[in-house]
């Protein structure tokens, strides 16, 4: 199976968000294509950010297709790809753009909200929940209430596979 490019995954996001996300990527292309995925932990090389995004989107596509018929989802593949595209959007601005203010979760959340507003990206409550809890429930964990919605849990799985299981892909071959 041939791996899709980030641009090919954008084509799977429903309108009008497809064009708005494409404009976001085009406006910040240099930062985005040269940014690492992280400082040290995953895809920590020049261009690793795009490697991380495309890998999470590949996992989402594969997992979505694997269980769609048998189990069904409460969200579309487009929803998953859109939230994965946005889930770490601060990284190119922090690592390449020199935004030293993006050091805590509140600052990253405000930055994400400004990007979404600035590009008029249309998000539902389910999208916002997914973006807030993509890295887990953290301090919002509740023993009886489901805080992380199904879309959030789904993209959390895709992100974790890329960042924690296959953190060196596609740079190095995994040890088996």
Which is more confidently placed, 8 or 98? 8
The yes-or-no verdict on residue 97 having pLDDT over 90 is no
Instruction: Answer yes or no: is 70 within a domain.
Output: yes
In a domain, 18, yes or no: yes
Average pLDDT over residues 110-124: 98
Residue at 33 is within a domain: yes
- pLDDT recorded at residue 166: 87
Q: Average model confidence (pLDDT) for the chain? A: 92
Q: What are 41-82's pLDDT values in tens digits? A: 899 899 999 999 999 999 999 999 999 888 889 999 999 999
Least confident of 2-6, 117-121, 152-156: 2-6
59 Cβ contact list (under 8 Å, min separation 6): 157, 158, 161, 162
**Residue 172 has what pLDDT?**
60
Residue 32: predicted pLDDT: 96
The structural domain count of the chain equals: 1
114-124 as b/e: b if 16+ CB within 10 A: ebbeebebebe
Furthest-apart CA atoms within the chain: distance in Å: 46
Residue at 1 is within a domain: no
Q: What is the pLDDT of residue 116?
A: 98
CB 156 within 8 A of CB 133: yes
Residue 171 belongs to some domain of the structure: no
Q: What percent of the chain has pLDDT over 90?
A: 75
Q: How far apart are CA 39 and CA 35, in angstroms?
A: 10
Q: What is the three-state SS of 72-137?
A: CCCCCHHHHHHHHHHCCCHHHHHHCCCCCCCCCHHHHHHHHHHHHHHCCCCCCHHHHHHHHHCCCC
Helix (H, G, I), strand (E, B) or coil at 53: helix
Percent of the chain with pLDDT over 70: 96
**Phi, psi at 23, each rounded to 5°:** -65, -40
pLDDT of 175 strictly over 50? no
pLDDT attached to residue 167: 85
Tens digits of per-residue pLDDT, 14-50?
999 999 999 999 999 999 999 999 988 899 899 999 9
Tell me the chain's radius of gyration from C-alpha atoms: 16
Domain encompassing residue 131: 6-165
For residues 120-132, average pLDDT:
98
Read off the pTM.
0.92
Question: What confidence score (pLDDT) does residue 2 get?
Answer: 67
* Residue 170 domain flag: no
């Amino acid at each position: 199976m041939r791996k899709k490019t980030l641009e090919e995954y954008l084509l799977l996001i429903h309108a009008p968000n497809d064009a708005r996300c494409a404009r976001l990527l085009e406006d910040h292309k240099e930062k985005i294509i040269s940014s690492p995925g992280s400082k040290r932990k995953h895809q920590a090389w020049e261009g690793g950010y795009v490697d991380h995004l495309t890998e999470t989107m590949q996992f989402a596509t594969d997992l979505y297709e694997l269980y769609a018929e048998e189990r069904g989802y409460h969200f579309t593949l487009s929803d998953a790809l859109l939230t994965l595209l946005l889930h770490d959007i601060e990284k190119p601005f922090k690592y390449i753009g020199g935004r030293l203010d993006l050091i805590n979760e509140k600052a990253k959340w405000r930055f994400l909200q400004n990007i979404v507003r600035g590009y008029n990206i249309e998000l539902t409550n389910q999208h916002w929940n997914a973006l807030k809890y993509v890295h887990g429930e953290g301090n919002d964990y509740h023993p009886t209430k489901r805080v992380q919605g199904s879309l959030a849990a789904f993209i959390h799985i895709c992100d974790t596979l890329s960042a924690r299981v296959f953190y060196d892909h596609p740079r190095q071959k995994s040890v088996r």
